[in-house]
């Protein structure tokens, strides 16, 4: 099962560091894929959950194992046109990434999908064993590996 770092977190939520390119790189360097929040504003890419904070060059995406959550429609359009692995969702139970992988809102499971896990309400025993799950996205991937 693939374990994805949520916004670069390795040992639990760290709101001050999430989506920081340096923080994300630390998770990538030890072998995790990373879910990041991406904005496209005034012709520039930014990372940040609630707002565009960290300016990044488009080349920053190259060769990285990223799952890019488009935070505005311009980001989705630009990433799709540049073949960057991305998806859009808000509170819908499921969406499909640009590479055809189901991305699931917390507490929703689907065959060959990735489910975001809120570790305050879900534990390993809560993961269904009767369907083939592709992976999980968590704030504390070190503990899940």
Give mean pLDDT, residues 132-139: 94
Whole-prediction pTM value? 0.94
pLDDT by residue (tens digit) across 79-108? 999 999 999 998 889 999 999 999 998 888
Give mean pLDDT, residues 19-25: 98
Residue 130 pLDDT: 81
b vs e for 106-138, b when ≥16 Cβ sit within 10 Å of the residue's Cβ? eeebbeebbbbbebeebeeeeeeeeeebbbbbb
Q: Which two tokens stand for residue 59?
A: 């080349």
Structure-token match 């770092």, residue found: 5
Give mean pLDDT, residues 56-84: 97
- Do the Cβ atoms of 60 and 79 come closer than 8 Å? no
Sequence spans of domains, the chain: 2-144
Residue 129 pLDDT: 80
């Amino acid at each position: 099962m693939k374990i994805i770092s949520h916004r670069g977190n390795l040992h639990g939520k760290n709101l001050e560091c999430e989506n920081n390119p340096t923080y994300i790189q630390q998770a990538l360097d030890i072998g995790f894929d990373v879910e990041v929040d991406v904005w496209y504003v005034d012709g520039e890419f930014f990372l940040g959950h609630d707002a565009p904070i960290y300016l990044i060059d488009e080349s920053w995406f190259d060769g990285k194992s990223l799952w890019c959550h488009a935070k505005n429609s311009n980001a989705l359009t630009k990433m799709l046109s540049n073949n960057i692995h991305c998806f859009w969702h808000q509170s819908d139970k499921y969406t499909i990434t640009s590479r055809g992988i189901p991305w699931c809102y917390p507490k929703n499971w689907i065959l060959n999908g990735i489910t975001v896990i809120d570790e305050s309400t879900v534990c390993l025993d809560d993961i269904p064993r009767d369907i083939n799950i592709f992976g999980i996205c968590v704030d504390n991937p070190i503990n899940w590996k």
